[in-house]
Structures are given as structure tokens and as C-alpha cells.
Structure 1
Amino acid sequence: MKLKIGNVELENNLILAPMAGVTDLPFRLLCKQQGAGLLCMEMVSAKAIYYNNKNTDILMEISEQERPVSLQLFGSDPKIMSEMAKRIEEKPFSLLDINMGCPVPKVVNNQEGSALMKNPKLIREIVSKTVKAIKKPVTVKIRKGFDENSINAVEIAKIIEDCGAAAIAVHGRTREQYYSGKADWNIIRQVKDNVCIPVIGNGDVDSPQSAAKMLIETNCDAVMIGRGVRGNPWLFSQINEYLNTGKEIEKPSALQVKEAIIEHARLQVEHKGEWIGIKEMRKHTAWYTGGFPNSAKLRKKVNEVETLEELIFLLDKYLV
């Protein structure tokens, strides 16, 4: 199903969630090949842009092949957030997303990410200033609330809509839950019932069936997929097929997985150099091969590889 967010039209309503250390350019390209409707980049610190941090330039690298792309900013200073949004607006992203969901302590302790859920007044200021600062559509990603005693996703969603945001993504867990327990899809439904802008559901979608179930149970406009797609970019094509035809695509074979890891590794080396690229492939290889015979041995060995050649040799030995 196509979806429009502001003036940006998506081919379908399946969205790759922003994940630090995962949704870099190489991985996004693989998800695009598998039919993701929108790709979200790793979150970028507004302060880091302000101070011209060099690593941030790499995080903001975008390829023409992957558009439409959503660039996600995090921060808590309305002036810096809006000014940095303006500073980077000419980059080729389609949507600007504001992170109000990250649960990581170093982010929360700076009153950023999901800590903002405790401060509706500050949320209003950040969103309204950022919306006014740029012409591109602004979206916001939130959680159910900060903890079980302060579930306020509906109140926050109304503020966000009121400030002119084009869409809102809701993760059905509190900050205190991190990624544990079960995501509360009912809160996504409540947000959908209370705002008119598109609502994107997030949490516990790891199969075609769970994606279909979320769309039915919450009435959300789009599904955002995070941890379920690590090592499994095929999930997008599987969900698309299931939603469109009701048919299930077979899981990729060991050979297909091996080919995907090699393609992913080649892209990593191309964009980041061999030393960093292959080092980062260690975790991805573990995700890709989970559940395969000999995967425990492979995971142990992959932590020692330093070159693309060594990685391919290892995959030829263990993924047959």
C-alpha cells in the first residue's frame, strides 16, 4: 500500500527503523533491494553537526539509489535542533525525523531521546521550531511513555501534530522497558484514533504475519521494522508478498545468505575501507547465520577475520 508523508510518496508502507550501528548506507541499500518503502538512517546528534564532527559526515552519507530516506536527528536544544536541520537541509534526504525514543543511558542522561517524553513543553518547542526552519516534512519517533507511571504517547502525539509534523512513529514500549517484554500495540491504536497525520507502528514485527496483524489491530498507516530485519533484509520482500497476495516466500537458502553477506561486506569495504568494514561485518554475519548448522563455530571464527578474503574463505567453509 502506497503512503504519503507530507509531499513524499512511498512505494509501500514498510519502513526500516533507524538503528545505531545497523542502518548505515550498505545495509540500507540491501533493504532497498528487498523492497523497503522508506529507509531510516542511524540517528545523528544535532550537537555533533554544530561542532562539525567528522564522523557525523559519514553517518549522513546518502546514495541516490536508496531514496526516499529519512534522516534522524537527536538533541534537546530547540535552537540547535532547528538550526542544524536548516544547515543540512540541502542533503538528499526526503524526511527529517526527530528522535524521542532512544532509551540508551548516555542519551537519556543528556535529557535527549526518550527523556523528552517527560517534557511536553520542550517537545512542543523543538517540533514547532524545526518544522518552521525547513521545507522538508518533519516526523517524530516516540515511545509509549517514559515508564509505566507516565504513559503519555497520546498527549505527546497530539502536541506533535499540532506543531505541524507530517507523521509520527510509535514504539509500543516505555523507555524503562528498553526492548524487553512485549510491545503494547494498543497504545499505537490509541494514537491512531487521536490524530489525523499518518501513524507508523513499531515494535515486535519480525514476520509477514506479525506485520499484517499490527496493521489490522492498530489501524496504523505503516509498519516500522527494527530488530527483526537485522541479518534478514529479505523480511521486506516477504512482508510485501504476504500483504499483497497472502503467499509466503520461502526463507533464503544458505547459499543466498552467503551471497548476501558477501555483497554486504563488499559494500562495507567500499564505503568504510577494509579494516572498519570487515570489523563491522562480524556482528552482521552473526545475525545472518543465526540458526544455521555450525553457526556457533562460524560466529567464533568470524571475530578473528580482518579482510574480505578471510571472510569469504570462512563462509565457504561453514555455509554450505
Structure 2
Amino acid sequence: MHIGSIILSHPTVLAPLAGITDLPFRLVVKRLGCGMVCSEMISANGLVRGSQKTRAMLDTVAEEFPLSIQLFGADPAVMADAAAQAAACGAAVIDINFGCSVKKVVKTGAGAALMREPQRARAILRTVRMAVAAPVTIKIRSGWDASGDQALEIARIAEEEGVDGLCVHPRTATQGFSGKADWQLITRIKKALHIPVIGNGDIVGADDALSMMEQTRCDAVMVGRAAMGNPWIFGQIHRRLRAEPIIPVSLSDRQDLMIAYVRAVCGYRGESHGCRMLRSRLGWFSRGMRNGAAFREAIRHLETEAQAIDLIRSVL
């Protein structure tokens, strides 16, 4: 699959997840075969104002190429400036968020609010497209009602303005993650456009990804929440696309990945900060395991990297 000049090794994409898809987690997913990883949603205003905390969210390494950096904002000039900064820091793809329906984002005119302002959306896409040579994509929802008409309008504007691809999460802005994703909207948008379309929503396992691609003819699938507890899902999807059986994840494989993740988080965040984050994050990988509940209880007061590794080896 191509997104502009970027070639994806596999038609799978890690969704941008706030507070989750930082550099250590993206590397875990990339090493397990994901075609393209995405950053957390990053404030364009924060980058332009020089926030060091926001700037740190652009951290990347060559191993995770191609990285998509997702930006949100409502001012065309600010978005263009932020996109240029992201590209200079190593983003292979610039993604613009048109789907976040969190109140504090929408009230600034960003995220899903842009789906109600097609002319502002067009201005943002035009200025960003002019500011960077890297491929540009967008992520949209159905819009503010279930008809999908707003999604189709924004998708057509995006193609007209030279956007290289888009991702469709076919839930309305007011649904959040509730209800069922309307995959028919992905089909509708795919038929209307010539640029690549990535499908997103209700992919819990590899068979769901296969069904979405067969039903909608989308070019790739994006996986978000399901990857938190099962980062192996990307490799499992690739095997299903090749009509190969899925290989169960062994306990030793799970432990090895968790230990590597602990070391990566502590190395990147520092041991103290990293362990505070791992108190919740390590629990993702233990869902469904025989001693998972005991493990999640044991890590609630995690203090050191060595303690985390010992618990992984002794409790699970």
C-alpha cells in the first residue's frame, strides 16, 4: 500500500491513542509487524508556542519508520507551522485530526468540530499541503449525525486539496466508542475517492480486519484499543490475509515482550516516572491470563524496573 511516496510493508496502521501511543509503545507494535504507527494526537498550538512537553511528543527513531504524526488545531497558519515542525523532526506522514469529539478539543474549533466547517477544513488542508512535502492524511468520523454526509463532503474536499489518504472511523461525533461502527460508510467513501482509504472501528481480532477489508474494499485497516492488550494483532492480521493460521502467543513470548516494554519505558521516561506509568500500562498485556488479576494488583505500587521484571517472571 502507498500513501503518497510512502510504502507500507503491510496494510495495517496503529491508531493514534492519547496517552498511549508514545515512542516505547509504538516500537513494540512496529516490531510485531505493524505497517505504520501513529503518534498521540498533538496540539499544533502547543508546538507553535514552544511547549517542551508537546515538542517531546515528536520524538522518533529510525526503527519506527514510517511514523505518522497526528496534529489537531483550528487555525490554518498554526497548523501549517506545526506540520512543518513535525516533518522536520522525522514524521513520514502528517495526519490531521477531524474526528476527536472530546469537549475541550471541539470547543476550540478543532477535531470533529471541523466536520461542521468545510471551508475552514479546506483552508487548513490547503495550507498544510503547501507547507510540507511529506504525504498528508486525515482521520474523520461519520460527522455529527448518522447520515455520513459530512464525512463524504470532508473526504471529497481532502482529495481536492491534494491529501494523500484518509482514515474513516464510522461513528458519529456524539457516539464516542459506543454503539456499532457503520462499515457501510467506509464502503461509500471508498467508492467516491481515488486516494487510499483506511478503515477503522470495531476491529477486535484479525478476523474482523479481514471482514472489513472484504466488505468495504478499504486499502488498509487501523487498529486502536484492541492493540493495547494484544499488540500481536497486527501480525495475526497479516497471517489471516495470507490465509495462514494464527499462531497462539506463548507465555514466554508475552513475558519477553513485557520485559522489553518495561525497559523501554524506563529508559525513555526515567525509572520513577516510567514505573508510575507502568502501574496501569503493564496490566494491558495480562488481560485474559490465568494470574492476570493478581499481577495487576501486584503492580499497583510499582517502584523500580527490577521489581516490574521480577513480577512479570514470578506472578504470570
State the TM-score, normalized to the length of structure 1.
0.95
Deviations 1:68-126 (Å, cap 9, x if unpaired)?
11111110111110122123322211110001111222112222111211111111111
Of stretches 235-244 and 250-259 in structure 1, the one that deviates more from structure 2 is 250-259
Percent identity between matched residues is 39
In the alignment, residue 318 of structure 1 is paired with which amino acid? V
Alpha-carbon displacement from aligned partner over 1:125-181 (angstroms, at most 9, x marks no partner): 111111011111110000011233774211110011111100010001111110111
Work out whether residues 11 and 37 of structure 1, in 8 Å CA contact, stay in contact via their aligned partners in 2.
yes
Which residue of structure 2 aligns with residue 7 of structure 1?
Answer: 5
Residue of structure 1 aligned with 2:145, choices 144, 147, 167: 147
Q: Give the aligned partner of residue 132 of structure 1.
A: 130
Aligned equivalent of 1:254, options 224, 231, 251 = 251
The residue that corresponds to 1:185 in the other structure is 183
> Which residue of 293, 298, 301 maps to 1:296?
293
Code of the aligned partner of 2:57: L
Q: How does 1:46-195 map to 2 (within 5 A)?
A: 46-148=44-146, 151-195=149-193
**RMSD of aligned alpha carbons:** 1.3
Contact map agreement 1:144 1:172 (CA 8 A) in 2: yes
For 1:86, the aligned partner's letter is A
Does the Cα contact within 8 Å between 1:231 and 1:284 map onto a contact in 2? no
* Alpha-carbon distance between aligned partners in 2 of 1:208 and 1:199, rounded to the nearest angstrom: 19
Q: 1:261 touches 1:288 (CA, 8 Å); kept in 2?
A: yes
Task: Describe the shift of the 1:268–1:317 C-alpha distance in structure 2 as closer, same or farther (beyond 3 A).
Answer: same
CA distance in 1, matches of 2:86, 2:204: 33
Per-residue deviation, 1:250: 2.7
What is aligned with 1:287?
284
The match for 2:269 is 272
Give the counterpart of 1:40 among 38, 41, 45: 38
Which structure 1 segments of 5+ residues have no match?
none
Structure 1: distance between partners of 2:167 and 2:147: 21
Q: Identify the range of structure 1 (188-197 vs 85-94) with the bigger mean alpha-carbon deviation.
A: 85-94
Question: How many correspondences in the alignment?
Answer: 316
1:284, distance to aligned residue in structure 2 (A): 2.1
| 1:316 equivalent in structure 2 | 313
The two structures have a TM-score, normalised by structure 2, of 0.96
After superposing on structure 2, the runs of 4+ consecutive aligned residues of structure 1 that deviate more than 3 Å are: 147-151
